Structure 1
Amino acid sequence: MNEILPKFDSTFSIDCVVFGFDEGELKILLIERNEEPFKDWWALPGNIVGENESLDQSAGRILNELTGLSNIYMEQYYTFGDVNRHPQGRVVSIAYYALLRLGGDKAVKPISTYAKKANWIDVKDLPKLAFDHKKIFETGLEKIKRRIKHQPIAFELLPEKFTLTQLQNVYEVIGDKKLDKRNFRKKMLSFGILKDLEEKQQGVSFRAATLYKFDKRKYAKLFGKEISF
């Protein structure tokens, strides 16, 4: 006798946790919702997975529709499936995260009317968020705090050319603690993955610092695996 399988009514959604770094501040990309539930609330860019889309395709489409950003590499990092996390029924959300250098090409503006606007907001000034998005954000933040200790993700937040002070600032802001300047520089230079460009900062009122570049090929050749930063 064939067993009759139960029917499932769960809906899948994508939520995008996109971090950016600008002028010493770690920022998160949020939208102001224009639809119920939680109309007029701030939220992570998110929506329902399309019927004929893969999860990665949905993530790219949703981020583009709600923020205007495109061709952003994102990674899945967690699934949120509490039974009552959505007031309109069972919705399981797959969370993606990304790290971006902020600049003119990272200006945000929703394409869809689903969002009123999109803004980069300092993580220290996080407003009250819709649904369980605070939990999703906090889980994403913990993810990058762990990864920055073992993988070179800090360089994804910096311009191509950067100073050691700028690099240290990224680690201090994400880790939320001050680091000893001398020890930090000695450790970072000892890895052999920073290329001294023999250039100095331009247009600064203080003593210009040396500029460096992250050497991806050297990193892959030397390590090809996680190291402790």
Structure 2
Amino acid sequence: MTLNVVSVTVDLVLLTIRQAALQVLLIRRGIPPYPDRWALPGGFVLPGEDLGEAAARELREETGLDPQHGHFEQLATYGTPGRDPRGRVVTVAYLALLPDLPSPVPGSDAAGAAWRPAAEITPGELAFDHDRILADGLERARAKLEYTPLATAFCPPEFTVADLRAVYETVWRTRLDPRNFHRKVTGAEGFIEPTGGTVIRDRGRPAQLFRRGPATLLHPPLLRQPAPQAQSSRVGGTSRSSDL
């Protein structure tokens, strides 16, 4: 039996919130295949390197940060024949969610790197099958905000309820009722806990500071409500509305 030679890569869906928008880190490819096309950051797994180690290495190279500074998880595996014109390449994608990050510096094989608003990326714009990987990563992030404390990965160590609501509104692309949101997040056991401090924000009013609590699942969950309009054609996905 002849064995097919398969190469393995890792790709990163790296999301952050910048300028009040959910943004994804993209690199402009400087080498074939797909030169000058935007793509997700990633690379081949080195000999003797575990998948998680390879993804963490790529994250450090692209951002200078350790995965422990945010949320980091394996997203999915993609191995459709022909997805990479160089040969049989299977990629394992990882989702990373981190607080506001600085402007990226491209690696040696990239022509550029930039944060791009996820909602502005159009289908077919990215190299390989990275449109699909990005769409899967965005939906994973949006869905996990419903039943886990994942939204706090976009926040600094101490934050206000308004800061947290801004994360939900940005990721879900909707507006939330402030009173209902405050009631639900403070009522979800172990979601957030007060630090005892306050900060002066809008209109000079002190706002209570919170930190992430010990919960790993939200009880009850914070559910999205389907939007009445048709689904968007952009990779960024749909807009939704909620009275949360």
Letter in 1 for 2:81: V
The offset of 1:182, in angstroms, is 1.5
Choose from 138, 142, 147 the match for 1:141. Answer: 138
3-state SS of the aligned residue for 1:64? helix
Aligned-residue offset at 1:46: 1.3
Could you say if the C-alpha distance between residues 24 and 124 of structure 1 is closer, same or farther in structure 2, counting changes exceeding 3 Å?
A: same
1:40 aligns with 2:36: yes
Could you say which residue in structure 1 is the equivalent of 2:48? 52
Pairwise CA distance, 1:122: 1.3
Contact 2:161 2:210 survives alignment (8 Å): no
User: In structure 1, what is the equivalent of residue 6 of structure 2?
Assistant: 10
Q: Partner of 1:79 in structure 2? A: 77
**Amino acid in the other structure paired with 1:96:** Y
Q: Deviations over 1:67-114 (max 9, x none)?
A: 2423124311101111111112111110001100014xx44213x311
Distance of aligned partners of 1:161 and 1:109 in 2 relative to their CA distance in 1, 3 Å threshold: same
Structure 2 counterpart of 1:100: 98
Q: CA deviation at 1:17?
A: 0.5
Task: Measure the CA separation in 2 of the matches of 1:39 and 1:122.
Answer: 21
Going from structure 1 to structure 2, the CA distance change for 1:23 and 1:161 (only over 3 Å counts) comes to farther
* Distance of 2:92 and 2:210 partners within structure 1: 34
Describe the SS at the equivalent of 1:51. Answer: coil
Q: Is the CA contact 1:200–1:208 (under 8 Å) kept in the aligned structure 2? A: no
SS at match of 2:90: strand
* 1:191 Cα deviation from its structure 2 partner: 2.0
Q: Which amino acid aligns with 2:118?
A: V
The AA in structure 1 aligned to 2:120 is D
Q: Give the unaligned 5+ runs of structure 1.
A: none
Query: Which shifted more, 163-172 or 139-148?
Result: 163-172
The alpha-carbon deviation at position 198 of structure 1 amounts to 4.6
In the aligned structure 2, how far is the partner of 1:68 from the partner of 1:183? 36
Q: How far is the alpha carbon of 1:226 from its aligned partner?
A: 4.9
The question of 1:125 aligning with 2:120 is answered yes
| Superposed CA RMSD | 2.1
Equivalent residue pairs, number = 215
- Are 1:62 and 2:58 an aligned pair? yes
2:12 is paired with a residue whose SS is strand
CA distance in 1 between counterparts of 2:168 and 2:94 reads: 22
Does the alignment pair 1:154 with 2:151? yes
Q: Which amino acid aligns with 1:69?
A: G
SS of residue paired to 2:139: helix
1:149 counterpart SS class: helix
Unpaired runs of 5+ residues, structure 2, are 223-244
The one of 188, 191, 196 equivalent to 1:191 is 188
1:27 counterpart = 2:23? yes
* Aligned match for 1:214, one of 211, 215, 219: 211
CA 179–70 in structure 1, closer or farther in 2 if over 3 Å, else same: closer
Q: Deviations over 1:166-192 (max 9, x none)?
A: 211211221222222221111111124
CA contact (8 A) 1:161 1:211 kept: no
Determine if contact 2:195/2:211 at 8 Å carries over to the other structure. Answer: no
Mapped to 2, the partners of 1:146 and 1:130 lie a distance apart of: 25
Identity among equivalent pairs (%): 30
